[in-house]
Chain A
């Protein structure tokens, strides 16, 4: 009953085409993972002696050889730059597997384009995963317009990042282990995106959490990295708890867990009812964990401890967008719960603004990009919150392009800085912007590409960012006017007021984004070089295997906007079809988007639209100019990082220390739980109360009674006389009283 056939499988236009090979998409990276895993583990395994308790000191000191199998953990000795024996094989297997997946995805996309109008998802059921009474969860994949877009992004950007990693991780002894994890990640991400029911999606959901744990803590011999990995996993796990509760609610009330079933039964739910709102809010709790929104975002900045391509792939392009995909995928639920929509939009707006402010004062180049990602994710949640699902996915796509480019660009910069420091054995922080400066002359190609990405993210017209961000702000503004969200109210505040506030936050965040991105560019590429005389000679362009993918990404982030050209743009510059992504995703999210805007597609009058676009462009340009005006890289001079930190005061210090949120979480949640469980629960209840009082207590009681008994038989006739007399008194007493 659970997983009815949405559309008769046989009659589906896609059946029989390459779409049948849907299952191969996640399996290919899985094969890559197994091969790389074996390549990393077999050389490192030296069987121990038959009797392990013999004195340790056998000659098994593990000098070299990184090794790993499945999720195992092994590391090289202090990342001594030595190339792993099988590095060459791995660098073929790893990316090759991704290229094949991408090719398969592209061919499936082509068949879908060719197959004309497809209104029903193409569901492939493989085997019954959990048959338990009337709950029968099947291992099934669902292919429809939304999932194919996500698959293309994942495999496309993934392939570019794999190629980049060949260069970036060349000298790392854990090379095969790195590629094994990366492949496993892509495999789980594909399972997440292709899953046809919430539990199958949940497998991918936690799987990617696991891979991010493994990759963040890749160089685990440093405690900070291992801690960052653990923190990421546990915070994600809190989010997954929310996802699980949502699944239970759905099953308990709707009896279905697959998307088709839930969509069909969600009609019975009363719109705006407390049940559907509860389900959506719990789902959103899952999203905040995975996509690093306000309450659970603290793990993302720490996740920068992992290698940079990992940050690019996982913490910019794919995993963190899983939350947006989840909301878009369950649009039929969110459109029924305006209050939930308002919350999502509000939290999205607040996160965008909050993260942008922190980004202003970060000195580590990757931390700036991390907070920028958190901020851009806030934008995506504004979009899907207000019901503009297409805008959300569009921004997701463009963000994947330019944010991956920014991260990989910073990766090349860090790589070059690291090489330079390595030559001169100087142990400065290769990621601190204060040590960079004036790299324009040494890395011209990367410099140009990074500027393209910066302009894109700032929202300068013709670049991808402008189209997607403007569409989100426009959608928020339009829905503030009239939509089911505007009518509803959140905590007493009318919906329209909330949405206007969200629009305002989005605008200010756009301004701040422009400022901190330009600040980053200024400190890294402009002004004179601050790395130091000796290293200067070693600064140069990164090898082509790294800059190649950058170029591709630059093209994508420059012309990404073409995906979904707004109407007003094509009248001016008839470049291509307007709103192609809208038409493409219409069968999946169209119906619920319309439900929010009372059936009419909320088009603002042309004049207001032009006004909004003008405001957005103005904001972007002023942001860049402010940055150029106020921040003089020369001011930095050659001050070392430690010195300049002291000089910040007041608001700057708070921003630099991320509003002390981490410390607050530790003090408020982590430490108290540890202390309570150690002092109160373990010592107090377990050892003290239960053991002390009942168990040992009863033993003490028994011994005490024994002792008292022995005193009575002392052999002294006198004591017996006393006993008798006392007895007599008692008996007489009874008489006198009786």
Chain B
């Protein structure tokens, strides 16, 4: 791969983490949402760099585009924009513990990664036809899963409508 590739990958990775950090620390939900969208864009860039172009596209379309929009929509609807009066964050004591747990979690995952993974074989150039690589298995082995997700989505929609409907 090119050296150029390597640099880009790092840039986008660090950007993603920075925006995630920003997202977590924002007081107002809207700012948080926007930072999350930014994180998702960086992720889609990473996907594309890892030859998952379709997933990168979908990430932007579905995730950033659809789900985050719904979030923003709800925030606006319930005009939660202004930072709420009660300190949204838990006391310093809570944060310290959470940070501690985070560090421990991170350490564990890294330790697991190092043990489990076989040595990474050098990157092999992926075949160009990107979509067929995904479509083929999607509609052969995983057809049933595909259908199930559609049913799931239907249920979610009906649920959401019912729940959010104003009582009679």
Instruction: Indicate if the CB atoms of A729 and B112 lie closer than 8 Å.
Output: no
Stretch from A265-273, A389-397, A457-465, A730-738 contacting the other chain: A730-738
Stretch from B68-76, B101-109, B122-130, B148-156 contacting the other chain: B101-109
Instruction: Indicate if the CB atoms of A732 and B108 lie closer than 8 Å.
Output: yes
Instruction: Indicate if the CB atoms of A735 and B112 lie closer than 8 Å.
Output: yes
Answer whether residue A89 sits at the interface, using C-beta atoms and an 8 A cutoff: no
Kindly report which residue of chain B lies nearest to residue A728, judged by CB atoms: B105
Q: Which of B105, B108, B109, B112 has the most A CB atoms < 10 Å from its CB?
A: B108
Instruction: Indicate if the CB atoms of A732 and B112 lie closer than 8 Å.
Output: yes
Interface 1/0 per residue, A717-729 and B, CB below 8 Å = 0100000011011
Count the A-B residue pairs with Cβ separation under 8 angstroms: how many? 19
In the bound complex, residues from chain B placing their C-beta under 8 Å from that of A725 are 101, 105
In the bound complex, residues from chain A placing their C-beta under 8 Å from that of B111 are 736
Q: Which of A726, A728, A736 has the most B CB atoms < 10 Å from its CB?
A: A736
A725 to B94, CA, bound (A): 14
Kindly report which residue of chain A lies nearest to residue B108, judged by CB atoms: A732
In the bound complex, residues from chain A placing their C-beta under 8 Å from that of B104 are 729
Nearest Cβ in chain B — how far from A496, in angstroms? 92
- Residues of A in contact (CB 8 Å), total 9
Instruction: Indicate if the CB atoms of B101 and A733 lie closer than 8 Å.
Output: no
Instruction: Indicate if the CB atoms of B101 and A729 lie closer than 8 Å.
Output: yes
- Residues of B in contact (CB 8 Å), total 8
Instruction: Indicate if the CB atoms of A735 and B108 lie closer than 8 Å.
Output: yes
A91 to B111, CA, bound (A): 110
Nearest Cβ in chain B — how far from A734, in angstroms? 10
Kindly report which residue of chain A lies nearest to residue B97, judged by CB atoms: A722
In the bound complex, residues from chain B placing their C-beta under 8 Å from that of A735 are 108, 112
A736 to B104, CA, bound (A): 12
Nearest Cβ in chain A — how far from B18, in angstroms? 24
Nearest Cβ in chain A — how far from B94, in angstroms? 9
Kindly report which residue of chain A lies nearest to residue B101, judged by CB atoms: A725
Nearest Cβ in chain A — how far from B26, in angstroms? 19
In the bound complex, residues from chain A placing their C-beta under 8 Å from that of B109 are 732
Nearest Cβ in chain A — how far from B20, in angstroms? 18
Interface 1/0 per residue, B113-137 and A, CB below 8 Å = 0000000000000000000000000
A113 to B104, CA, bound (A): 111
In the bound complex, residues from chain A placing their C-beta under 8 Å from that of B105 are 725, 728-729, 732
A725 to B109, CA, bound (A): 14
In the bound complex, residues from chain B placing their C-beta under 8 Å from that of A728 are 105
Q: Which of A718, A728, A735 has the most B CB atoms < 10 Å from its CB?
A: A735
Nearest Cβ in chain B — how far from A730, in angstroms? 10
Instruction: Indicate if the CB atoms of B101 and A736 lie closer than 8 Å.
Output: no
Q: In chain A, residues 691-738, which have Cβ atoms closer than 8 Å to a Cβ of chain B?
A: 718, 725-726, 728-729, 732-733, 735-736
Nearest Cβ in chain B — how far from A733, in angstroms? 7
Nearest Cβ in chain B — how far from A662, in angstroms? 71
A563 to B105, CA, bound (A): 111
In the bound complex, residues from chain B placing their C-beta under 8 Å from that of A732 are 105, 108-109, 112
Q: In chain A, residues 625-658, which have Cβ atoms closer than 8 Å to a Cβ of chain B?
A: none
A376 to B112, CA, bound (A): 99
**Lowest 3 CB-CB distances: which A-B pairs, in order?**
A732-B108, A736-B111, A736-B108
Residues of chain A whose beta carbon lies under 8 Å from any beta carbon of chain B: 718, 725-726, 728-729, 732-733, 735-736
Residues of chain B whose beta carbon lies under 8 Å from any beta carbon of chain A: 90, 101, 104-105, 108-109, 111-112
Having A718-B90, A729-B104, A732-B109, one finds 16 other A-B pairs with CB under 8 Å, namely: A725-B101, A725-B105, A726-B101, A728-B105, A729-B101, A729-B105, A729-B108, A732-B105, A732-B108, A732-B112, A733-B108, A735-B108, A735-B112, A736-B108, A736-B111, A736-B112
Q: What are 19 residue pairs bridging A and B, where the CB atoms are less than 8 Å apart in the complex?
A: A718-B90, A725-B101, A725-B105, A726-B101, A728-B105, A729-B101, A729-B104, A729-B105, A729-B108, A732-B105, A732-B108, A732-B109, A732-B112, A733-B108, A735-B108, A735-B112, A736-B108, A736-B111, A736-B112
